[in-house]
Amino acid sequence: MERREFVKKLSLASAAPVFLGGIPVNLLASNGRLQMAAGTADNDRVLVLVQMHGGNDGLNAVIPINQYSEYYNLRPNIAISDAGARKYITLDSTLEDAKQAGFHPDMVGMKALYDQGKVSIVQGVTYTNNNQSHFRSRDIWFMGGSYNENPGSGWAGRMLDVEYPKYPQDYPNTAMPDPLALEIGANVSLMYHRTNGIPVAISINDPEQFYKLIQTVGNNVLPEALEETYYGKELKWIMEIEKKSDPYASRLKELFDKGKNGNVTYPELYTLNAPNKFLKNGLAPQLKLVARLLSGGIKTKIFLVRIGGFDTHANQVEKYNASYGGHAALLYHLSSALKAFQDDLKEQGLENRVMVATFSEFGRRPESNGSYGSDHGSAAPMFLVSSYVKPGIVGQNPDLKDLPGGNLKMQTDYRQVFRTVLEDWMQASPDAIKATGFDKYEKLELVSSTPASVYGEFNRSRNIIGSCVPNPARNFTTFTIQLNTRSLVKVELYSQDGKFMYSVENREYDMGKHTIEVPLQGLASGVYIVKIDSELVKAANKVTVY
């Protein structure tokens, strides 16, 4: 039996989940090299991985508008409508036709982040000969390998074993007092396993109990009958690692107590129609915990959180309206939780430290089944969320007329995304990238060298305010405004010396092109300033009244 399988079985018999603030946390204390990397690196950047467990239906998350007829014909019983109150959200009217896409109507939070220049969507992500087995495919993503490989270790573990030795004896230390990786949930993933070492999970119900329990860990005497056996050596190794968790327990309790969340409401429930098991937002409290630990000063470099339920073979949607149902609730949970998380980080001055990457073991097939669901498929989109992403879409909408074996074609290998994030965001060294095996895969244009701004170039190019016409004018002037999302628009008139004259407009406008008239009757001759302020773009136009 391999060490990994032995510890898995042992943990089932003897371990309980760790909880911080009511959220189960697995302490990944075994990867000393990752910890040393965090301690010696000259950046404080953090990666948060969001696993969409079960295989997300990417076509109902990112709808290919330019092929809507083909999309609808392939899945008429689950397709998101192109009309009505629950139609898809048009993502970006300025994109080229091959990238014209819409979000599910419950992905309002993700759309808002996109409009702020904080979302990059990578289309068609998978690997060659996608396995389409939940367990095997997840292992492949965590290994960083191909469909026919089984190294027994994860890409993070391999990367760090090469570059950063001397764990556990030199850790924790002043430079790196924290575990590098924290996994929220009940399992420790293969991604963090080393060739000769594995992560260890320790569990209780809250930080205080966590701290008290860990004080006793490792004090047990190894049974003599096991000491010289294979399993005895493994048990001894585990107990030594658990002893090492003592200072981490104290530190995590300290950081949790010290940290806080901003004045942000994290979503709790999906309030529209869906089966009861989908209503609670399980992702939001995990991200809230991550934000609190970051606020407390944790130096952990990688967090892994999960949201499950995406294996939607049946009843993916409500029969009477495909925009409601279990999958709708899941997309709402993902979108709204990420929006709250980003708002929390921004309020606390932390948003420029964090990048989020979502992934799912596979996508779903383009053609729906007769049970109002979708079956295991291949490619699906990944979402990167950060103020440092290059916003937009990488790749194109999948070609729905070219479906080999009934599946979407691969556009991007998942290792391209991970290599780009590790190298360009986490600033991993060339040797570290080589250890993952990702050096064989071409990088993508995903990471920006400067942070996004709500009023930055991304939005200025997509939300345009025209000049006043006619100008000069006597009784009225007009200007056009092109909006790339529904937005509150305020229009006010000022004298040239800055005196407020009157309000012209203060209401929401839908996405699209609008003409706004500014009345000028009764004004003395002279130069006036029309100030336009929307949620995404501001402008000031001069108009001469004669």
Tokens of 319: 């029969």
pLDDT value for 461: 79
Residue 346 has pLDDT above 60, yes or no: yes
Question: Mean pLDDT lowest for which of 236-240, 258-262, 304-308, 431-435?
Answer: 236-240
pLDDT value for 486: 85
Average pLDDT of the residues of the chain? 85
Name 518's bridge partners: 477
Residues of the chain within CATH 2.60.40.1930 domain(s) are 463-545
pLDDT value for 538: 87
**Per-residue pLDDT tens digits for 466-493:** 999 999 999 999 999 999 888 899 999 9
Name 28's bridge partners: 181
Please give the full DSSP string across 223-245, using - where no structure is assigned.
Answer: PHHHHTSHHHHHHHHHHHHHHHH
* In 308-460, beta strands by DSSP E: 354-359, 380-385, 392-394, 412-413
Beta strands 62-64 and 119-126, pairing class:
unpaired
Residue 14 has pLDDT above 50, yes or no: no
Distance in angstroms (rounded) separating the CA atoms of residues 116 and 487: 13
Name 23's bridge partners: 20
Phi, psi torsion values for 184, nearest 5 degrees = -90, 120
Distances (CA, A) of 495 to 118, 477, 530: 37, 15, 9
Tokens of 333: 């949970």
Binned at pLDDT 50, 70 and 90, residue 202 comes out as very low
Phi, psi torsion values for 280, nearest 5 degrees = -80, 135
Residues of the chain within CATH 3.40.720 domain(s) are 30-181+264-440
Binned at pLDDT 50, 70 and 90, residue 142 comes out as very high
- Do the beta carbons of residue 310 and residue 138 sit within 8 Å? no
Residue 218 has pLDDT above 90, yes or no: no
Question: Mean pLDDT lowest for which of 107-121, 320-334, 369-383, 530-544?
Answer: 530-544
Distance in angstroms (rounded) separating the CA atoms of residues 100 and 96: 6
pLDDT value for 223: 56
Which alpha helices (H) appear in 259-309, and where do they start and end? 283-296
Distances (CA, A) of 320 to 77, 312, 317, 323, 372: 9, 17, 9, 9, 11
Residue 446 has pLDDT above 90, yes or no: yes
Name 307's bridge partners: 52
Place of tokens 């898809």: 88
| Burial (CB count within 10 angstroms: exposed 0-12, middle 13-18, buried 19+), residue 239 | middle
Residue 146 has pLDDT above 80, yes or no: yes
30-181+264-440 is a CATH 3.40.720 domain: yes
Q: Which residues contact 365 (CB under 8 A, 6 or more apart)?
A: 374, 375, 376, 377, 406, 407
Place of tokens 């990994």: 4
Q: Which fold has domain 463-545?
A: Immunoglobulin-like (2.60.40)
Tokens of 8: 């898995």
SS3 238: helix
Binned at pLDDT 50, 70 and 90, residue 226 comes out as low
Please give the full DSSP string across 426-471, using - where no structure is assigned.
Answer: S---HHHHHHHTGGGS---S-B-SS---TTSHHHHTTSEEPPPBSS
- Mean predicted confidence (pLDDT) in 531-540: 88
Residue 10 has pLDDT above 60, yes or no: no
Distance in angstroms (rounded) separating the CA atoms of residues 155 and 543: 61
pLDDT value for 38: 41
**Per-residue pLDDT tens digits for 480-530:** 999 988 889 999 999 999 999 999 999 999 888 999 999 999 999 999 999
**Per-residue pLDDT tens digits for 47-95:** 999 999 999 999 999 999 999 999 999 999 999 999 999 999 999 988 9
